[in-house]
Structure 1
Amino acid sequence: MAGIELILAAICLNSTCLTDTSLSTTATSFISNETSSLAEKERNLANLRNALNGNHLKVATLEDYPLSYTNKANGTVIGKGVSFDIVDFLAEKFNFTYDVVVPDKNIIGSSTDLSGSLIEILRNQSADIAAAFVPHLADLRQYIWFSTTLDEGEWTMVMLRPAESATGSGLLAPFETAVWILIIVSLFAVGPIIYGLIILRNKLTGDDSQKPYSLSHCAWFVYGALMKQGSTLSPIADSTRLLFATWWIFITILTSFYTANLTAFLTLSKFTLPFNSVDDIARREKHFVAQRGGGIEYAIKNDGELLNILSKMVAKNRAYFTMGLNDTETLMDYVEKKNYVFVRDMPAMKHMLYLDYRYRKQISMTDEKIHCPFAVSKVPFMRKKRSFLYPLQSKWSPLFEPEILNLVESGIVKFLIGKNLPKAEICPQDLAGTERQLRNGDLMMTYYIMLAGFVTAIVVFGSELIFRIVNERVAAKRTLTIGNFETRKDKSKKIVMGKDVTPPPTYNSLFFRHGKQATDFNVSQSQHNFEDSFHGKRRIINGRDYMVYEGNTGEKRLVPMRVPSATLFQYSYTE
């Protein structure tokens, strides 16, 4: 009573207050009305208990192991699973019996899919309650009532465990895609920037001490620094040195980070899957399979649901909804054989993988890759609250709801869902049972780089051949043009700097008489004239043989007689 008086007193601060007498009368009237309402509610609940006591109900359900499923004994359908643990508790508390009703198609149902569904049974008042963990779909509210929320269901993806981590090959793993793109952009941009700044500096300062490097030299400097190959460029200007030093510092830090992260990835990296969310499925249009008539199908096909973005994949036959009740068979037929992604709620998925793990453990006791050929994504495919269902205007829901709420809040429902599962995680993403070893996939990028390098070298080699052929043709045309203006009378003459020069006689003709030797060596007439004016004597100077002769102007010349020196002498006059 004191609390109500305080509330009324607070209201009176900004309004005309009642007298003390009227305040007490109002509070007393409110409490008496509330007490009468509670008493009436208790009477109504007592009447419902009496009506339910010894009564016989019909309970509808779905085949959704382990939450709800049925067995047959002597022609009688018996409900099993977590749902019927709750129903049995209610039956014991309120002293009623029940029959189990199963829909014809084992589907939840929706506005466009009512025939043979669980919703149709409740809509036709053929059952008093639906004992199944049904997700809260907006399309169902026009046909049924949802009970107290039992749990927040999570649907996740089961797929074949890939041989390699989805983070990529070892060489690309240290940096994300954006970093690699920026590195490539800087590799192509820094060379022209350095070249442009050098040219701009020379023009603005007028200082020509710094030789302007060509664009190709600047580009190769940037690439060489990245590969730790150094450079032959030696800048003189301070600004140019700072540009070069800045790039070197950047490359030093970048390569240090890359080396450290690569080492960490190859030794400590965690395994990741190629498909982790709905966005991955939609973007890559991965085939997936789910239960026919389950929450996933209606969340995709019904408007207003978040998963409706996958409706296009249904139209493209990328999604398949199976009527199979055995999850293990679905896992084998669609995931293991066809490499589909199987979308299933978490309790069913855990039981399915646990049974598969126990079976494969008998095949191999030590190899974890054989024990766990499947992997589960960490990000839920869908989250939805799940509840039992009542027909509209159900008369038994006021009795059942408080008891179901007590079971949920006390953690009994959560305990029942996981009571037959081990405490440890079944087949985690990162098995971590063996040391991390380098696989061939970790080195695939090195193979790609080598292949790209060889292909690039072949292309450059081909371009060099093409340029050589083109240059030879251009040179041939130029020579032909010169030949049209120059007349060569004597083939023994050569054009040097635009002048005709008569080559000297052969070296051997210097040491013989002109008559006989000219015939033996086929010397020209000009060479005979040269020999006639030449008289030499053999001398030994510093232990070497020389021919000493006088030239036309009277100076003496030494002509070596040894073969190597003679060859050099001949070359100096003829080339």
Structure 2
Amino acid sequence: MINHCHQFCCCNYQEQPWTMLKTDHEDLIGNDKYYGFAVDLIDVISQVLGFTYEIIIVHDGKFGSKLTNGEWDGIVGEILSGNASMSVAPLSINADREAALDFTKPFKTRGITVLIKTPKSQSSFWQFMLPLSTTVWLLVFMSFIVLSISLFFLEKVSVARTNVMPKLDSVTESGWFMFASLVGGGAEAAPTTLPGRIMSSGWWFFSLILISTYTANLAAFLTVKKINPPISKVGELIDQSTMKYGTVSDSGVETFFKSSKVDPFWRMYEQMALFDDMMVSSTEEGLSRVLDGDYAFLWDNSVNSYLVTTQCEFTEIGPAFDAKGFGIGLPPGSLYLEQLSMAILKLADSGRITEMEYK
């Protein structure tokens, strides 16, 4: 157990749902200003190991990448410079960061998905026609015309079984009878011959199936919002020209695309690197561009899933790829690496981390 008198300075990255400011944060001080998954995680770990901590937000708003002079920026730079004792943030573990810092066992695994603006549902005066396809409507209309004419001729050439009911003595009367049968109404005239009644019985059965199918589909169309996103998977971004796409500069996601040799990921990075306006400097800028429209943001699926759940303006396109772990970053040779890793494993085994994810 870590000495309770020891206080750590925890470097966090302000991002939903990891570390967020409370609505009344201006009236609060210290750690009380923040909430989120990362805040809950370090709070539970501190209780298990018995230490205190202070949360600071990385000053340059970056995760950490190696500069040309060999120095590091972002969260990694804060830890190496001694400004922070550890990182409790969505900092993915890759080869470069592992060489600079010591990481605990992963407390969560992330993948990459695409976040786009939810397409607007199209409404039309002819929306009541949507439950059936155009082909079906045309076939129903053609059947209606052919059977109306056929019923008239059957009634004309066949012998009537009774003279009580008015006869279908014109194509118009036959058509009206067929239409009334289709919509469940009544007609003044009706078939009086055996062939005409047999044909009418078949039309009634067809009308029953058609109306039942139409009603069920119409209810589904009116109750379920149908969304047709412009893409269905990440690989389709490379084959379209209407939507720009990108990710946060100097992030783990960019590192994946930059070093990938797999098609279409390497081709996607060539396009992202070709235009300056495809990359963003922060998550907030990426989300803002998504809301402005015609921009796809490639980012951590835990963030994307949270945004889709809480805000209807976003739609997530999967499946997730490039699975990597998030770990607590510590200075090289840290004495508390093993204890923190054991605490994370115990929390995972007990289901506490899963509880925090659901929260």
Bin the TM-score by the shorter chain: 0.5 to 0.7
Distance 2:291 2:16 in 1: 21
Amino acid across the alignment from 1:281: L
Partner of 2:182: none
Amino acid across the alignment from 2:303: A
Q: Alpha-carbon deviation of 1:394? A: 1.0
Counterpart pick for 1:334 among 289, 293, 303: 289
Partner of 1:135: 92
Q: Deviations over 1:282-306 (max 9, x none)?
A: 2335412433443322323356798
Matched, 1:343 2:298: yes
Partner of 1:282: 238
Amino acid across the alignment from 1:338: G
Distance 2:315 2:41 in 1: 32
Q: Alpha-carbon deviation of 1:271? A: 6.3
Distance 2:120 2:43 in 1: 46
Partner of 1:119: 76
Q: Who wins on radius of gyration, i.e. which is larger?
A: 1
Partner of 1:76: 30
Partner of 1:90: 45
TM-score (norm 2): 0.60
Taking only aligned residues, the RMSD between alpha carbons, in angstroms, comes to: 3.6
Q: Alpha-carbon deviation of 1:375? A: 2.9
Amino acid across the alignment from 2:272: V
Q: Alpha-carbon deviation of 1:356? A: 2.8
- Structure 2's unaligned 5+ residue stretches are 123-132, 135-212
**Paired residues of 1:299 and 1:308 also in contact (CA < 8 A):** no
Matched, 1:60 2:11: yes
Q: Deviations over 1:369-388 (max 9, x none)?
A: xxxx5432132254322222
Q: What does 1:400-419 correspond to in 2, within 5 Å? A: 400-419=340-359
Distance 1:68 1:158 in 2: 20
Counterpart pick for 2:270 among 312, 324, 334: 312
Distance 2:227 2:119 in 1: 10
- Structure 1's unaligned 5+ residue stretches are 1-48, 172-262, 358-372, 420-575
Q: Secondary structure at the match of 2:10?
A: strand
Distance 2:29 2:91 in 1: 27
Distance 2:49 2:37 in 1: 19
**Which deviates the most, 140-149 or 335-344?**
335-344
Amino acid across the alignment from 1:147: T
Q: Alpha-carbon deviation of 1:393? A: 0.8
Aligned residues: 256
Q: Deviations over 1:483-503 (max 9, x none)?
A: xxxxxxxxxxxxxxxxxxxxx
Partner of 1:107: 62
Q: Secondary structure at the match of 1:384?
A: strand
Q: Secondary structure at the match of 2:341?
A: helix
Q: Deviations over 1:110-161 (max 9, x none)?
A: 2237554111122234322210122222221210122112222133212244
**Paired residues of 1:157 and 1:381 also in contact (CA < 8 A):** no
- Looking at both structures, which has the greater relative contact order when contacts are Cα pairs under 8 Å and sequence separation is at least 6? 2
Q: Alpha-carbon deviation of 1:276? A: 3.1
Q: Alpha-carbon deviation of 1:75? A: 5.7
Distance 1:302 1:111 in 2: 15
The percentage of aligned residue pairs carrying the same residue is 16
Distance 2:27 2:258 in 1: 37
Partner of 1:41: none
Cα 1:318–1:121 shift into 2, 3 Å: closer
Distance 1:138 1:308 in 2: 19
